[in-house]
């Protein structure tokens, strides 16, 4: 193509002032551009998002909220936060948004702080079945501070067992029910969760970090009309800066805001807040709606291509941006598959499959996602080829060099961060 890589705003300045760090930026972008990125929780932000991130807004202390700050001189950054909040509410049809959480984990911590007291019972999806650390893992604050009851997926269908969720809710009477996952390829039935939460008088929190971009693009049903609180990250399929956010009902707005600041966080990262506003605006465009639909079509094409090659998708496929592949039939662990794919120029992560006999550091599965390759402009045809390459890399480690050549051929046409981006 002959186009130069785009290393970010003011890169020339960085190169002259700090060549060591500039070299790290070059090496990282070269790494990304030199392989296929299938990590389901990653994406390539736009240059506009990068420009907001690399801006002087990083300098400003703005503890508090627009119009109610604990520092002077916040009148300009207030405009950025108000826009971010307004755009988030408009994009998702939410009554209230808090755009300050630094991450998905701090968004969840704040949401729990708003709704629970230490020792209260919450019901959430088990990490080994696709949940998240902050959904009650013993090694996380959520598992240490709350009485956590976990639900999972059925052994036969590998789908959430809503009967089990209801039984557990009736038996344990949780104050909070959490729905949402990091490695669940199917749609979540928010109507069913709402019904169960109402039956036991629990709050319903949807952790939509993974599917939020698909919801923003209207490609899957939104959790917002059903959940009291929706937490999410802005950097996955949504394609914004690394960070978190919370949507909630008007009724919970004050509690959520006080939980984010001053309970969980101090000063917000105003450059990130501005970058979130940019991403929300981008996600409201018809192009983004088309992108969200293509992400799912690509994930389905990838899961099908892997299945044709004998690599089974958990639950038989996907409705979203990711597929979870069970490698037990292939006789390779997730850790080994991750390593073999990396050698062949394909980046993905090992992941536990439901009822996994292997420990979390090894696992019996891999998770593959299509937000990155779709941003690069790849479609089902290219993605099917990627499925063949993943299978070959996993099954035939000796063929890494040959696979790298095919990866390079795909990337020659679909390379991220070109100068004409």
Residue nearest to ligand DSN (CB): 41
Compute the distance between CA of residue 282 and CA of residue 296 in angstroms, rounded to an integer.
19
Instruction: State the DSSP string of 97-133.
Output: EE---SSHHHHHHHHHHHH--TT-EEEEE-GGGT--G
Helix (H, G, I), strand (E, B) or coil at 255: helix
Smallest gap, in angstroms, from Cβ of residue 308 to ligand DSN?
A: 26
Binding mask 108-147 for ligand DSN (x = CB under 6 A): ------------------------x---------------
Smallest gap, in angstroms, from Cβ of residue 176 to ligand DSN?
A: 19
Give 57 or 127: the residue with its C-beta nearer to ligand DSN.
127
233 flagged as catalytic: yes
Smallest gap, in angstroms, from Cβ of residue 185 to ligand DSN?
A: 12
Residue 312 sits at φ, ψ, to 5 deg, of -80, 130
Smallest gap, in angstroms, from Cβ of residue 195 to ligand DSN?
A: 27
Binding mask 167-196 for ligand DSN (x = CB under 6 A): ---------------x--------------
Over the range 353-391, which residues count as b (16 or more CB within 10 Å of their CB) and which as e?
bbebebeeeebbbbbbbbbbbbbbebebebbbbbbebbb
Cα of 268 vs its chain's centroid, Å: 21
Among 82, 106, 73, 78, residue whose Cα is nearest residue 265 = 106
**Considering the rule CB under 6 A, would residue 106 count as an interface residue with ligand DSN?**
no
231 flagged as catalytic: no
Question: Which residue of the set 61, 121, 189, 249 is catalytic?
Answer: 61
Binding mask 56-95 for ligand DSN (x = CB under 6 A): ----------------------------------------
Burial of 66 (0-12, 13-18, 19+ CB in 10 A): middle
61 flagged as catalytic: yes
Binding mask 16-45 for ligand DSN (x = CB under 6 A): -------------------------x----
Give 129 or 132: the residue with its C-beta nearer to ligand DSN.
132
Smallest gap, in angstroms, from Cβ of residue 160 to ligand DSN?
A: 17
207 flagged as catalytic: yes
Among 397, 363, 295, residue whose Cα is nearest residue 38 = 295
Give 132 or 175: the residue with its C-beta nearer to ligand DSN.
132
Please give the torsion angle defined by the CA atoms of residues 19, 22, 23 and 26, in that order, rounded to the nearest 10 degrees. Answer: -150
Determine which helix (DSSP H) or strand (DSSP E) holds 168, and give its type and residue range.
helix 162-172
Residue from the set 35, 64, 104, 143 that interacts with ligand DSN by CB under 6 A: 104
Smallest gap, in angstroms, from Cβ of residue 109 to ligand DSN?
A: 13
236 flagged as catalytic: yes
326 flagged as catalytic: no
Residue 159 sits at φ, ψ, to 5 deg, of -110, 155
Quote the strand ranges of 52-194, DSSP E: 64-65, 68-69, 96-98, 121-125, 147-151, 176-179
Question: Which residue of the set 134, 233, 320, 370 is catalytic?
Answer: 233
Enzyme catalytic residues: 61, 63, 207, 233, 236, 242
Question: Residues in the site for ligand DSN, rule: CB under 6 A?
Answer: 41, 104, 132, 182
């Amino acid at each position: 193509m002959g186009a130069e890589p785009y290393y970010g705003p003011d890169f020339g300045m960085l190169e002259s002032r700090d060549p060591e760090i500039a070299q790290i930026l070059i090496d990282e972008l070269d790494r990304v551009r030199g392989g296929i990125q299938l990590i389901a929780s990653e994406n390539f932000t736009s240059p506009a998002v990068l420009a907001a991130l690399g801006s002087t807004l990083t300098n400003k202390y703005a503890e508090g909220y627009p119009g109610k700050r604990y520092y002077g001189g916040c009148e300009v950054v207030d405009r950025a936060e108000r826009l971010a909040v307004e755009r988030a509410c408009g994009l998702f049809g939410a009554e209230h948004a808090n755009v300050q959480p630094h991450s998905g984990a701090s968004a969840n911590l704040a949401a729990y702080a708003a709704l629970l007291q230490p020792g209260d019972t919450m019901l959430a999806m088990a990490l080994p079945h696709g949940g998240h650390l902050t959904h009650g893992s013993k090694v996380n604050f959520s598992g240490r501070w709350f009485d956590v009851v976990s639900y999972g997926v059925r052994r036969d269908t590998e789908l959430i067992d809503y009967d089990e969720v209801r039984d557990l809710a009736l038996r344990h009477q949780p104050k909070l029910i959490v729905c949402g996952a990091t490695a669940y390829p199917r749609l979540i039935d928010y109507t069913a969760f709402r019904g169960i939460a109402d039956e036991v008088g629990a709050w319903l929190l949807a952790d939509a970090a993974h599917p939020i971009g698909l919801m923003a693009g209207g490609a899957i049903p939104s959790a917002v009309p059903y959940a009291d609180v929706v937490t999410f990250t802005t950097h996955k399929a949504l394609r914004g800066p690394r960070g978190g956010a919370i949507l909630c009902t008007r009724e919970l707005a004050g509690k959520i805001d006080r939980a984010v600041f001053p309970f969980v966080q101090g000063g917000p990262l105003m450059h990130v807040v501005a970058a979130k506003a940019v991403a929300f605006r981008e996600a409201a465009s018809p192009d983004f709606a088309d992108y969200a639909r293509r992400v799912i079509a690509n994930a389905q094409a990838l899961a099908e291509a892997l299945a044709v090659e004998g690599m089974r998708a958990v639950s038989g496929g996907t409705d979203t941006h990711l597929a979870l592949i069970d490698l037990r039939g292939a006789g390779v662990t997730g850790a080994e598959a991750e390593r073999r794919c990396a050698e062949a120029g394909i980046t993905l992560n090992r992941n536990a499959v439901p009822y996994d006999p292997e420990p979390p550091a090894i696992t019996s599965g891999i998770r593959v996602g299509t937000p990155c390759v779709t941003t690069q402009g790849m479609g089902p045809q290219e993605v099917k080829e990627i499925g063949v390459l993943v299978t070959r890399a996993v099954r035939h480690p000796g063929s890494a060099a040959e696979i790298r050549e095919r990866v390079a051929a795909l990337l020659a046409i679909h390379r991220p961060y070109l100068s004409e981006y």
